[in-house]
Amino acid sequence: MRLILLGPPGAGKGTQAARLMEKYNIPQLSTGDMLRAAVKAGTPTGLRAKSVMDAGGLVSDEIVVGIIADRIREADARNGFILDGFPRTVAQAEALDTLLARNDMRLDAIVELKVDEAALLARIEKRARETVAAGGVVRADDNPEAFKVRLDAYRAQTAPVSAYYAGKGGLKTVDGMAPIDAVTAAINGALGG
C-alpha cells in the first residue's frame, strides 16, 4: 500500500498515519519529522532548513525531494509507505511522479483530510499544551505567528496539490472534523476495508 495523506497543519495526518502504519505494516514517511531530525543532528540539510521551518515557511523542493528519493528506496519501504507532509507543492507532486516511475512504484490512494480552518489553531495550541504537560519540548513552529505562515503556505502551495491529484483520479476526501476513530474508519473505508 502506497499512500499520501494530504491536509492542512493540524488536520490529524500524524495521528492517522500512526494507525495506518500498524494496520498495513508500512512506515510513515513524514518530511517534517525527517527535517526536524536533521535539524537536531545538525546535518548540512538541517542547518539549511532550520530558520525557514521555525518561521513556518516551506523548505526548498530540492531538499525535500532529495530526502524522499532516498527514503522510498530503503528496505522497510519495499511493501509500501505513507507519505505525510509530502508532496506539499505541485512541483513536489510532479517530482514524486518521476521518482515513482523510475522505481517502478505506483500510488494506491491519496487521502485528503478536510478540516475547518477555524479549528486548526486551537488544535495546534492544544498539542503544545499537552506536550508541555508531558514534559516535552514544544515545536518551534507551534506558535500563532509561525502557524499563520504555515496556513498561508498551505493555502497558496499545498491546496493546489489536492487539485492536481483530483485531476488525475484517485483522490479520496475524508471529514477530518469527525472524532479520531471515525476518521480512521472513514479512511479505512476509502481504502477498501
- Asked if 56 is part of the footprint of ligand ADP (rule: CB under 6 A), the reply reads yes
Q: Beta strands 28-30 and 2-6: pairing type?
A: unpaired
Instruction: Establish if 92 lies at the interface with ligand ADP (CB under 6 A).
Output: yes
Minimum Å gap between C-beta 56 and ligand ADP is 6
Residue 58 binds to ligand ADP (criterion: CB under 6 A): yes
Helix (H, G, I), strand (E, B) or coil at 109: strand
Residue 32 found at the interface with ligand ADP (CB under 6 A): yes
Interface with ligand ADP includes 46 (CB under 6 A)?
no
Asked if residue 64 binds ligand ADP (CB under 6 A), the reply is: yes
By CB under 6 A, name the one of 31, 82, 111, 171 that touches ligand ADP.
Answer: 31
Q: Which of 108, 115, 114, 113 is nearest to 170 (CA)?
A: 108
Q: Alpha-carbon distance 190 to 20, whole Å?
A: 12
Known catalytic membership, residue 78: no
**Does 52 participate in binding ligand ADP (rule CB under 6 A)?**
yes
SS3 108: coil
Pairwise CA distance, residues 153 & 56, whole Å = 8
Please check whether residue 176 is in contact with residue 11, taking contact to mean a CB–CB distance below 8 angstroms.
yes
| Closest by CA position to 32, among listed 4, 64, 55, 77 | 64
Task: Please indicate whether residue 139 is annotated as part of the active site.
Answer: yes
Selected from 95, 150, 183, 186, the binder of ligand ADP by CB under 6 A is 150
- Catalytic residue IDs: 13, 88, 127, 139, 150
Residues that bind ligand ADP (CB under 6 A): 9, 30-32, 35, 52-53, 56-59, 64, 85-86, 88, 92, 141, 150
